[in-house]
Amino acid sequence: MNKSELAEIRSYWRGGTVSQKTIHSSKGLESDFVIITDLNSDHFGFPSDVHDDPILNLILPSTDKFEDSEERRLFYVALTRAKHQTHLLCDATCPSRFAEELVEGDYKIVVSGEKDASRKCPVCSSGVILKKTGKYGTYYECCNKPICNYKPPVCNACGQDIVMRYRGKDGKEFAICQSKNCKTIHEVCNRCTFGVLREVHTNNGSFLGCHEFSRTRCKGYKSFEVRGENNLFA
């Protein structure tokens, strides 16, 4: 949390003292209320060097058999610092798995805000597709990368957004551009579960190929149909 964010919280909390600490430095301390920030999937914002803490080793069972056991210990430390209430702040597009486990579990919690369901990763279903900017421009990938390597195709009609695959009420699958101004329907790959067909151009000609080829080697394809004015090859 930066200084201005901290100042904003102080302005809401005139009666008491507000201070910022790392989880590590808060060990052994207690406060009336605790706010845990940055509980997101891409980073926990946690250091992960408390595994050798002798007191924690007494309190917690050997948790090494759990995933992320070190971060789990830290999270536990953070959650138990409050006398009254703990607030967790997560990015709604990609909350940490810890936050999701709390929501799904049988705990006394109140959730405000919602996860963006239209961007849910179809492959791992716990991740969300994020827009990123790299050396070669904008690209999209699942926030659970590298655990999940799914990348959605970008719509070739508008170039502005990703194409997501759905099952219609009639059971038929279709794929649609997520841009509100475009909504172009794309064909799905019949050979796999998540693939969308997109134009592939080679020296030997052009065809519609599965966009999952790079990830799963799916060889689903369809020969090109001439589609009137919008056809790039007319």
Could you give the 3-state DSSP secondary structure of residue 138? strand
Binding part of the chain for Zn ion, among 19-27, 76-84, 130-138, 145-153 by CB under 5 A, reads 145-153
Q: Does 210 interact with Zn ion (rule: CB under 5 A)?
A: yes
Interatomic CA distance for residues 168 and 19, integer angstroms: 51
Q: Does 196 interact with Zn ion (rule: CB under 5 A)?
A: no
Q: Is there a contact between 75 and 90 (Cβ–Cβ < 8 Å)?
A: no
Q: Is there a contact between 72 and 63 (Cβ–Cβ < 8 Å)?
A: yes
Residue 75 CB, nearest approach to Zn ion (Å): 22
Q: Which of 23, 175, 177, 188 binds Zn ion (CB under 5 A)?
A: 177
Residue 77 CB, nearest approach to Zn ion (Å): 29
Residue 122 CB, nearest approach to Zn ion (Å): 8
Interatomic CA distance for residues 198 and 221, integer angstroms: 9
What is the per-residue binding string for Zn ion in 212-231, x denoting contact by CB under 5 A? x-----x-x-----------
Q: Which residues contact 109 (CB under 8 A, 6 or more apart)?
A: 102, 103
Q: Does 179 interact with Zn ion (rule: CB under 5 A)?
A: yes
Q: Where are the alpha helices (DSSP H) in 80-234?
A: 97-104, 213-216
Residue 222 CB, nearest approach to Zn ion (Å): 11
Residue 104 CB, nearest approach to Zn ion (Å): 17
Amino acid at 215: R
Q: Which of 56, 79, 158, 176 binds Zn ion (CB under 5 A)?
A: 158
